[in-house]
Structure 1
Amino acid sequence: MQINRRRFVGGALGGGGVAAMAAWFPAWAQPVSSGITAPIPTVSGSDITLRIARQTMRVDGRLSRAIGINGTVPAPLVRLKEGQTARLTVVNDLDEDSSIHWHGLLLPFQMDGVPGVSFPGIKPRSTFIYEFPVIQSGTYWYHSHSGLQEQIGHYGPIVIDPEGTDPVVYDREHVVVLSDHSHISPEAIFHKLKANPGHFNGQRQTLAGLLAGKDQPLDERIAWGAMRMDPTDVADVSGSTYTFLVNGHGPRDNWTALFNPGERVRLRIINASAMSIFNVRIPGLRMTVVQADGLNIVPVETDEFQIAVAETYDVIVTPAVDRAYTFVAEANDRSGMGRATLAPRPGMTAEVPPLRSRPLATMKDMGMGAMGAGAGGDASCSAEHAAMGHCTIEGDGGAMDHGMRDFDAAPQVKRDPSVQTISPMPVDRMGEPGQGLDDVGHEVLTYKQLVALDRNPDVRAPERSLDIHLTGNMERFMWSFDGMKMSDHHEPIPFIEGERVRVNLINDTMMSHPIHLHGHFFELVTGKGDRAPRKHTVLVQPGGIATFDLTADAVGDWAFHCHLLYHMYAGMMRVVSVRPRGEAA
């Protein structure tokens, strides 16, 4: 619903009838509370206890079931110091197995916290002690790697203060944890996705939209229909089901980050969602990005950035005037938003911008980035490509013809119904801001703008190259790497200790996938030489390629997966095995 919140509130104040309708408006457009300024509780020191338990949480005044840690959702902020040894005693008070994975932390693989990969998990009513040296600094987070617990509150932030002088200068900081919340159980969400992958999509094109000129032209719509593909299928679970949270609070809760005018305010922004990619902006306030995935970068100013699930970005803002600003975390399919307020005093609010028009997938998102439309990948070529026969339907459940499914270009991909398509012409999309952000009228951050502040620790050329295809069948909600699911018990992806490998992630699907490798950082190949940005998670755009160089310097078995929770749960996960060089066969 495209509604201006200030206009709505003004009308509500002027008439009881309008006020009575408030419950029918989306949460971000409704009147807000006087403001919640309490930060996430903090635990620190050399010996920390974290207790996992069932609880309830209140979102926009409504109670729901959750799993929290030490009685809070998000879990407490774990604050550590570079150079210390962390000892974290985790007590599982649940009636089911649980775990904690320390996302982005470099540690012995036995402490990584992935059941079945690096340790057996934490049994019900039992305790596990994580102990490891802290050899880095920055903004990170932690979460369950057991079942679907992450969806219902089992996540929290980590801040590691540097041992020496922090190159980022700031007067005040706020930790901002973004997440998605549903009153539907995660098991029920997954069941509905398997039964009907479009179940939660309230963004589909309509006849009214077509007549109003807001949707694709009829010939394009017919071509997409012939391919049995939906250009509005940008997010599997949307604002029709999710409430988008900031530090555990819904839009009406009005979580507020305080500042004094003129201060340099550091916002440590973490996307701890299960399934939601956010576009973050603060209307009227420029942001300077100073850190990506916990590592310092050369400061870069921007108006907006897309943050994938599991990524972190630290930004500096310097509000100069005595006024409030709205912090907007808009879902990438534009079906809803998380919102908070930056203000000099509690109780203040600023205008909340309406949701922008939903993005529509293009032929570029189908892996035809180099065809017809050129660099822009304009959707207008879709009917043309349909006429050229690239969209022929087979009789095997709607897959494209084998002229388009170029398996010869991907011989390692398993050929079965779990792989719907192979992108015929995928392109590097790391210089793009993300779906729907090309024409927003202001500057949007891209991966190619990131430059590491310090020289990379390993600048050797790669010894070999490895292609990994991100594969799936969207009609059946099946997800995999190279057509192979984690449950198929395939051999791990092998690496030798110390080797340099160039990894090409090729997205053969029409959805974005945030890919995370445990236990390592990798350098994005974006032309920055020895200052390539180092990350632990990279968002691979639909039909796109993301390339990184990896030094396999952490011996052990490590999880490698899409960080969209239900994609991982459906099979988009493998194990990377790094073996000591002397043991390599």
Structure 2
Amino acid sequence: MSIAVSRRRLITSTVGLAAAASLPVPAWAKGASLPHARRGFGELSGENIHLSIGDHHFMTGARAGHAHAVNGTVPGPLIRLKEGQNLRLHVTNKLAEDSSIHWHGLLLPFQFDGVPGVSFPGIKPGETFTYEFPIRQSGTYWWHSHSGLQEQAGLYGPIVIESAEPDPRYDRDYVVLLSEFTPMHPHDIMRKLKVGEHYFNRQMQTATDGEMSGADRRMWGKMRMNPRDISDVTGMAYTFLINGHGPADNLQLAFKPGERVRLRVINGSAMTFFNVRIPGVPMTVIAADGIDVADVVVDEFQIGVAETYDVIVTPPDGSHALVAEAMDRSGMGIASLTSHPGHIATPPPLREVPTLTMADMGMGMMDHSAMGHGDMGGMDHSMRDKSLVPDDVEVGPGVDMIAPMPVDRMDFSGLGLDKVKHRVLRYTDLKAKRMNPHRMVERELEIHLTGNMERYMWSFDGKAFSAVTDNPIRFGYDERVRVKLVNDTMMAHPIHLHGHFFELVNGADHLHQPLKHTVVVQPGGTATFDLTANEPGDWAFHCHLLYHMHAGMMQVVTVRPFPHGGHH
């Protein structure tokens, strides 16, 4: 029997290979020599901007491999715009596959949002698509492919929109775009994650490690979970980049002593949360996701994938290490902020790998010590107690964990930063600089972030995204909705809503709730936002960890007037 099965499998796989062989093979796969992409980016501005997506070769430090470059660079060009201008972006696709560009955080008509299958068909090989829209905002944003896994291969870049009024708060201005490079093909990474989600984790805790009691270890073992399960893809596969430069490139950002320097920090990575600091130099946070917030002085902040933070620093004379350390401490991106050209700052060593806690399992409120060893079995059961979720959550093989007591974790500074002695940014520190219009909430909606780590399945409410027509989340045009995101998994998820800004319900008075387009929902925690759905159309709503989105953690939000003014 087994021979027949394996033979049948062999026949079908051979058929698959034959079919694959008839597809056009991209030049890079044939081993053709590709142009070398330049590290870092040029700048484009004006009413008509031309972008060309192509296959290139990219190298940083000892790592080299295939990349998708835009206008010959990785990352692609910085697009510098002015509030109030009209913009036409002509994007030419020179790849052998469909492509797209999404303008992350920009307010625009939905047909120019750049999500294939949701708001437009995508850009075919050899074709040019023109995006056209007015610029209705200012601040720090970014752009990236929304096709397949192309973003991982280099298809992303920064956007800076100057405000209509001059900004007197700074003398010099730098984009600090954080990302990763890997010579591995993104589909290969996805396959390895499907085979074993710990593939890239070389920091697993063993039975004899450090601070854990035997009871704790047995409990984690029983739940088939690992307290060091922090990042799916690590420095084992990645070189961490700042503006396309790895640590070996010695990137320098110049300043003159006494200058106020604005750093526009963008997390343009596929999978990495970064902890950003300049040892010895305090940072004043002035904007989150492009929108001004009341000043907050910090020494470090964690930035989720797809978030942006603008900070102002006044570094003393000398060279200072600008450090973006991966949350799992498997590597860092480094640049030198220097008043002496050629002087390279010495980066600090990598810090100790953080360890997940009971709170990350959604058990923050449970008294661990009172449970005794005999209760661990009951506890294992409680991690998968399907009666704890609402009826509209589909509990199938894609849902492996349910946080028993999820609590609001807006006040959490981020994994590994909750124990440091210095000042760390929390969502609860953010207050909108300009008052929001006051609106009462008309409806409340709860969405569960669900997953099965072992099978690498990710979803909203237990339903993995497959097609747009299925069953979108519906909002009435101009409806005011309070959305509560409940994270039933043990990983932080940066959740992004296209085409809108929402207000974080973070304890600020409702006129000063900060506006964001991406919110990190901590493991075993909840995060709540108020949304005025005032941008009509179909919009993607997804986890911005690229491989989570690819594995199904996405949905479509439809904003349309409800018939007869009623609500669904």
Partner of 1:305: 301
Partner of 1:141: 142
> What CA deviation, in whole Å up to 9, does each residue of 1:288-313 have, x standing for no partner?
00010000011110000000000000
- Within 1, Cα distance between the matches of 2:496 and 2:378? 32
The answer on whether the counterparts of 1:513 and 1:563 sit within 8 Å (CA) in structure 2 is: yes
Are 1:387 and 2:375 counterparts?
A: yes
TM-score (norm 1): 0.88
The answer on whether the counterparts of 2:382 and 2:404 sit within 8 Å (CA) in structure 1 is: no
- Within 1, Cα distance between the matches of 2:64 and 2:110? 38
- Within 1, Cα distance between the matches of 2:178 and 2:384? 38
Partner of 1:257: 253
> What CA deviation, in whole Å up to 9, does each residue of 1:297-354 have, x standing for no partner?
1111000000000000000000122x10001111111111111110013321222111
- Within 1, Cα distance between the matches of 2:39 and 2:546? 29
- Within 1, Cα distance between the matches of 2:383 and 2:100? 45
- Within 2, Cα distance between the matches of 1:226 and 1:518? 39
Partner of 2:513: 532
Partner of 2:12: none
* 1:568 partner SS: helix
C-alpha change, 1:109 and 1:453, in structure 2 (3 Å) is same
1:62 offset after TM fit, Å? 4.0
Are 1:499 and 2:479 counterparts?
A: yes
Q: 2:360 aligns with which of 358, 361, 365?
A: 365
Partner of 1:442: 422
Q: 2:453 aligns with which of 462, 471, 474?
A: 474
1:581 offset after TM fit, Å? 4.0
Unaligned runs of 5+ in 1: 1-36, 374-379, 393-400
Q: 1:546 aligns with which of 520, 524, 527?
A: 527
Partner of 1:422: 402
> What CA deviation, in whole Å up to 9, does each residue of 1:530-556 have, x standing for no partner?
011000000000000000000000110
216-225 or 196-205: bigger deviation? 216-225
The answer on whether the counterparts of 1:52 and 1:70 sit within 8 Å (CA) in structure 2 is: yes
Name the amino acid aligned to 1:346.
Answer: P
214-223 or 548-557: bigger deviation? 214-223
Partner of 1:340: 335
The answer on whether the counterparts of 2:386 and 2:395 sit within 8 Å (CA) in structure 1 is: no
Partner of 2:279: 283
Partner of 1:103: 104
The answer on whether the counterparts of 1:437 and 1:444 sit within 8 Å (CA) in structure 2 is: yes
The answer on whether the counterparts of 2:116 and 2:147 sit within 8 Å (CA) in structure 1 is: yes
1:165 offset after TM fit, Å? 3.1
List structure 1 runs of 4+ shifted beyond 6 angstroms: none
C-alpha change, 1:533 and 1:496, in structure 2 (3 Å) is same
- Within 2, Cα distance between the matches of 1:403 and 1:176? 40
1:252 offset after TM fit, Å? 1.1
Partner of 2:322: 327
Partner of 1:579: 560
1:40 offset after TM fit, Å? 2.8
The answer on whether the counterparts of 2:484 and 2:527 sit within 8 Å (CA) in structure 1 is: yes
- Within 2, Cα distance between the matches of 1:155 and 1:100? 8
Q: 2:464 aligns with which of 472, 481, 485?
A: 485
- Within 1, Cα distance between the matches of 2:206 and 2:232? 19
Name the amino acid aligned to 2:355.
Answer: L
Name the amino acid aligned to 2:453.
Answer: M
- Within 2, Cα distance between the matches of 1:386 and 1:136? 58
1:582 offset after TM fit, Å? 4.7
Q: 1:229 aligns with which of 222, 225, 228?
A: 225
Unaligned runs of 5+ in 2: 1-37
Partner of 2:10: none
Identity, in percent, stands at 58
432-441 or 466-475: bigger deviation? 432-441
* 1:86 partner SS: strand
The answer on whether the counterparts of 2:40 and 2:244 sit within 8 Å (CA) in structure 1 is: no
The answer on whether the counterparts of 1:223 and 1:386 sit within 8 Å (CA) in structure 2 is: no
- Within 1, Cα distance between the matches of 2:377 and 2:62? 53
- Within 2, Cα distance between the matches of 1:406 and 1:72? 48
Number of residue pairs matched?
527
